[in-house]
Amino acid sequence: MSKLKVACFGISVDGFGAGPDQSLENPMGVGGMALHEWAFATRFFQQMFGNPEGGATGVDDDFARRGFDNVGAWILGRNMFGPVRGPWPDDSWKGWWGTNPPYHVPVFVLTHHPRDPIEMEGGTTFHFVTDGIHAALERAKQAAQGRDVRLGGGVSSIRQYLQAKLIDEMHLVMSPSPLGRGEALLAGIDLPALGYERTEHMTTPNAMHVVFTKQAR
């Protein structure tokens, strides 16, 4: 049965899932790249971006690989797709990832502004969903054909799905770096009250991995 999962989502030690002032120069907000340094060092990440010999193995690498296991579709928020705000001015922006994005499956982008699908190299097609998080999840599960749906972020999208109790599993990676300001992931959210329990945690020199799973009630 298809599940909705958050995987490898970086947060700072002071609870921010993105830095402030997202821009072309700072795709994850000012300072936000520090949340993902643990992943950049892994062999899986290096192989994904064309370096077959580099990168470290171990716990961080294992979690990075797990994040892509059995994924048949993705959901992204508008900010995760790019820095363009409001109505799409044209069709020139096609994401941060070049002509061959790392998804290789259908990707459903949450937005208030319609846009035609974008077919990219490697099997990625971006679909733009204007009728809310439930509609996006339904379409993503249909596209996944029994495999899981990965919710990539950003912070606002994860918060919406959490508060709607739609996320089945959430893997957070806490960086030892503070951001000081930005987008707080869990502020005001009571995970136990929503039915989420910690089911796994491991610490490495680079990060702490924590997995929360929604319990049947």
Q: What is the pLDDT of residue 23?
A: 87
**CATH no., domain 4-74+146-214:** 3.40.430.10
Q: How far apart are CA 12 and CA 66, in angstroms?
A: 21
Q: What is the pLDDT of residue 142?
A: 98
**For the segment 104-162, what is each residue's pLDDT rounded down to a tens digit?**
999 999 999 999 999 999 999 999 999 999 999 999 999 999 999 999 999 999 999 99
HEC string of the chain?
Answer: CCCEEEEEEEECCCCEEECCCCCCCCCCCCCHHHHHHHHHCEHHHHHHCCCCCCCECCHHHHHHHHCCCCEEEEEECHHHHCCCCCCCCCCCCCCCCCCCCCCCCEEEEECCCCCCCEECHHHCEEEEECCCHHHHHHHHHHHHCCCEEEEEECHHHHHHHHHCCCCCEEEEEECCCCCCCCEECCCCCCHHHHCEEEEEEEECCCCEEEEEEECCC
Domain residue ranges of the chain, discontinuous segments joined by +: 4-74+146-214
**For the segment 39-96, what is each residue's pLDDT rounded down to a tens digit?**
999 999 998 877 777 888 999 999 999 999 999 999 999 999 999 889 999 999 999 9
